Chains A and B, each alone.
Chain A
Amino acid sequence: MADSGGTDEHDKKDDVERSKSEGKELTKEEKQRLRKEKKQQKKHKEKKDDKASQESGKENKSASSAAAAPQLPTQTVKVVKRLPEHIQVDNPEVLKKLAKKLERQQTPVHGATIKIPLRSDYGYKVSLFSHLHQYSRKAPLTQQLSIPSTVIHPAVVRLGLQYSQGIVAGSNARSVALLHAFKQVIRDYTTPPNEELSRDLVNKLKPYISFLNQCRPLSASMGNAIKFVKKEISNIPTQCKEEEAKSKILNCIEWYINDKIILAAKAIAASAIEKISDEDVILVYGCSSLVNHILFEAFEKRRKFRVIVVDSRPRLEGREALRRLVQRGISCTYVLISAVSYILPEVSKVFLGAHALLANGYVMSRVGTSQIALVAKAFNVPVLVCCETYKFCERVQTDSFVSNELDDPDDLIVTRKGKTHLENWQEVPSLGLLNLVYDVTPPDFVDLVITELGMIPCTSVPVVLRVKNVDQ
């Protein structure tokens, strides 16, 4: 089921599909439910819904309301499909809702409530992507904050700055940095009187998360990490003392990082090394921390292989990957993505990293990945995607337009020989600069996904998700 506008027809179709899949003949109840839903939808359109707007703020939660999890027919679950507001930027009502939501997430400081600032969009957006945010790096969110930031914890402000300037980039790095900042927040936290730690701390974290979301849209891995932390905090028993509770949460965070990131990387490297044989020519794209780790491990285990690093503008992350590989002594070749079909006949395997794995088996990764997978498929070269399970996401997407991230368009401007041709691009009315960050690769192009649970085909991702949900 793809994310789509909440029209009645779709609801009916899905309900009918679900009832068919469950194989139960509850047509009467089905009809009753449909009628109820219609009424509820009308109500929702009229009144402002706090919960719904908060839910829609989190990508995962909004889709999970209509998610693949099986729903029992006896529960009258609200099947209201809400689009997350970060992909409805061209709708002024949604923007107003977002502004109000930020106001509501105020943190009371010295009796006065100060709100999280709203970052404004920059520049002309290409019409196909006008529903997404586009920010400029030259207008950081800190412009609107007071300098000794009292509203937002300084560690979170620092993190937000590092995200927006690209100093911390890459799914794993962002998650680790986020958890590090949360640890500092939790350390500096004191429970106000008459409040419970389990509820108050979660409320404290909400404005920080909105702030970080404004600096740079949250990644799927960060979303999962946040969910985990919130769950841990809310599971703290009320009679627990503050120090004990805080140390418990800090330990949980450390466990999460150790288990889901560090150990997972080791496990993935161990299984991936089996797939690397001697005299292999491996193609990698951009700088993925996990793929680099695998290559380092394989090189330590004395496998003989060489690497071709493919890079693309404007990020040119491949240079960093190239530097790290060459530093270890691995022999590398460097090409730009435009030369990928030239170089592919030499390649024996393609290793790709992922930003997230979606519930329908699509791989969301850096823009250009799907192109490489497509060309590799055409040349019959196996494509292996390496991804930890904490990046698995319950969202479903079949194209790169619906939900994406637009980076600063000024990054595309380059100065060669003293001339900057695109300097005044804003004045040309028919010109738009588009700097996409992510794209989705269909599962037909991916031959294998290597996770710490083993090597699974792309279509088994929903199974892993289901197993994970049952575990938790």
Chain B
Amino acid sequence: MELQAVLMAAGGGSRMTDLIYNTPKPLLPVGNKPLMWYPLNLLERVGFEEVIVITTKEVQKMMSSDPKMKLDVKMKLDVVCIQEDGDMGTADALRHIQQKIKSDVLVVSCDLITDVALHEVVDLFRAHNATLAMLMSKAHEFTETVPGQKGKKKTAEQRDFVGVDPSGKRLLFMANEADLEDGLSIRKSIIKKHPRMHIKTGLVDAHLYCLKKEVVDFLAENKSISSIRGELVPYLVRKQFSKTANRQKMKDESEDQTQKKNDDSTNQELLIASRDESLLQLAQERSCWNDHHGDMSEAYHGGKLRCYVHILDQGLCYRVNTLAAYIEANRLAPKLFEEPAVHPSAVISEKCQMGSDSMIGALCQIADKTSIKRSTIGNSTTVKEKVKVTNSIVMHGVTIEEG
């Protein structure tokens, strides 16, 4: 098997506490579908047949009772429950399921809504035999005003600095502004190998990662890494250029095993376990291809650990982890799939004015003289007469009285 999909659905939703009050984040309705339906749908469309879902017991119970999940998702979902403390980071969760991981992993977060052509990310992973391939997208300014917030929040402290090479595919540098105290410092070895680097700050990490199996094994050894995004990815990006990574240590396997327990910076990631490493070497030697020109080193500068990123220019890519993102997603999610805006089982009376941006869920009853503009109405809601619903998201099972 080539890739195993892992869906991280145990997240807290710390930035949208008001919404999380009743429903856990993975089951928040967006466009009348639970939030985690979107990444699952993406995986299903692309051809995955099995997904490992890491979530909490509460979510699992709600999932099994939700008809939408059962009907629409045809893949086999292997649900793994973890405790709700919130202490477990994404990397900890991966470590938890290390036994189940038998091949390379595709980690997706439950709050990702996107229509990216997934083969672009996976092709980078396959073609260059990369250790990490991730997806990022240009950040969109949220146009909707968030109720309860005056003015736009300045998110200057949360900027991510991402350095890529001129082709825009190879990931050279990644740091969060919070981690950089004095300024941005880049090692000389990186500049020597990649004299031209584009540093971008306006990118949104889609939290979609392709990781090699060796990385999961490495995580099992190193219990200090708890978050994929916060710690593992910057670590891997830094490790591309570390001195030990570039030395050919293929034949020193026996030495490595004794050093494994002591050595934090393990050499495990180098051993891209292929039994015919020598053949691959031969093929690369004979091939007249190089990924860079102008210096004396061979392809990839001889580095075995490589990180790649696919930056999405156009297309939808949202991470629903703030209120503003949630509202925006509700507005745009219907465009992702071709279902009609009005569910066929909804009962809508004739004198109702409905804008084209609105979505009506199943089994709704909309009475006369109502106007619904740019809103999403959940399933089984009742809207009585003379009601104006504008720019809102109405959850499931709500009754809106007259007036």
Contact = CB atoms under 8 A, between A and B. Distances in A.
A225 to B, nearest CB: 13
Interface string B287-326: 1111001001000000000000000000000000000000
B60 interface: no
Contact of A167 (B4, B48, B128): B128
A176 interface: yes
B288 A154 contact: no
- Where chain A touches its partner, the secondary structure class is helix
Contacts of A170: 286-288
Interface in A159-202: 161-162, 165-170, 172-174, 176-177, 179-180, 183-184, 187
A47 B74 CA distance: 42
Interface stretch (B115-123, B244-252, B336-344): B115-123
A262 B279 CA distance: 11
B47 A286 contact: no
A165 B288 contact: no
B48 A177 contact: no
B127 A147 contact: no
Interface in B263-300: 275-276, 279-280, 282-290, 293, 296
B129 interface: yes
Interface stretch (A67-75, A77-85, A314-322): A314-322
B2 A154 contact: yes
Given A165-B127, A173-B283, A183 B2 contact: no
Interface residues of A, number: 43
Contacts of A177: 280, 283, 287
Interface string A317-349: 101110100110000000000000000000000
A176 B296 CA distance: 24
A239 interface: no
Most chain A beta-carbon contacts within 10 A, residue among B117, B123, B128? B123
Nearest to B5: A148
B19 to A, nearest CB: 32
A148 B47 contact: yes
B374 to A, nearest CB: 35
Contacts of A145: 47, 119
Given A158-B129, A165-B127, A167-B128, A320 B290 contact: yes
Given A148-B3, A149-B2, A169 B126 contact: no
A65 interface: no
Nearest to A326: B296
A385 interface: no
A369 to B, nearest CB: 14
A168 B287 contact: yes
A241 B317 CA distance: 52
A224 B275 CA distance: 24
B178 interface: no
Interface in A105-164: 140, 142-143, 145-150, 154, 157-158, 161-162
Given A158-B127, A158-B129, A167-B127, A320 B279 contact: no
Contacts of B285: 173, 289
A166 B290 CA distance: 10
Contacts of B2: 147-150, 154, 157
Contacts of B284: 168, 173
A364 interface: no
A148 B45 CA distance: 12
A147 B48 contact: yes
Interface in B61-94: none
Contacts of B276: 180, 183-184
A147 B119 contact: yes
A142 B119 contact: yes
B289 to A, nearest CB: 5
A87 B390 CA distance: 62
B398 interface: no
Contacts of B5: 148
B46 interface: yes
Given A179-B279, A180-B276, A146 B286 contact: no
Contacts of B129: 158
Contact of B126 (A158, A166, A176): A158
Most chain A beta-carbon contacts within 10 A, residue among B118, B275, B285, B287? B287
Contact of B288 (A161, A321, A326, A327): A321
A469 B239 CA distance: 52
A393 interface: no
B180 interface: no
A140 B46 contact: no
Interface in A281-338: 286-289, 317, 319-321, 323, 326-327
Contacts of B156: none
Contacts of A165: 127
B1 interface: yes
A169 B296 contact: no
Nearest to B125: A158
Contacts of A147: 2-3, 46-48, 106, 118-119, 122
A257 interface: yes
A173 B286 contact: yes
Given A166-B289, A173-B284, A326-B296, A157 B126 contact: yes
A140 B283 contact: no
Interface string A234-249: 0000000000000000
A289 B289 CA distance: 11
Contact of B286 (A167, A176, A319, A323): A176
Given A147-B122, A148-B3, A148-B48, A176 B288 contact: no
Interface string B96-120: 0000000000100000000001110
A146 B123 contact: no
B279 A257 contact: yes
A186 to B, nearest CB: 12
A169 B127 contact: no
Contacts of A149: 2
A257 B296 CA distance: 28
A427 B129 CA distance: 37
A286 B287 CA distance: 12
A209 B46 CA distance: 23
Given A148-B2, A148-B3, A320-B289, A143 B119 contact: yes
Given A180-B279, A320-B288, A161 B296 contact: no
A76 B119 CA distance: 51
Contacts of B1: 148, 150, 154
Query: What 5 A-B pairs have minimum CB-CB distances, sorted nearest first?
Result: A146-B47, A287-B288, A173-B287, A154-B2, A173-B286
11 contacts: A142-B122, A148-B1, A154-B2, A176-B279, A176-B282, A177-B280, A177-B283, A177-B287, A184-B276, A187-B275, A317-B288
Given A150-B2, A289-B285, 9 more contacts: A142-B122, A150-B49, A154-B2, A161-B126, A169-B289, A173-B284, A183-B276, A289-B288, A327-B296
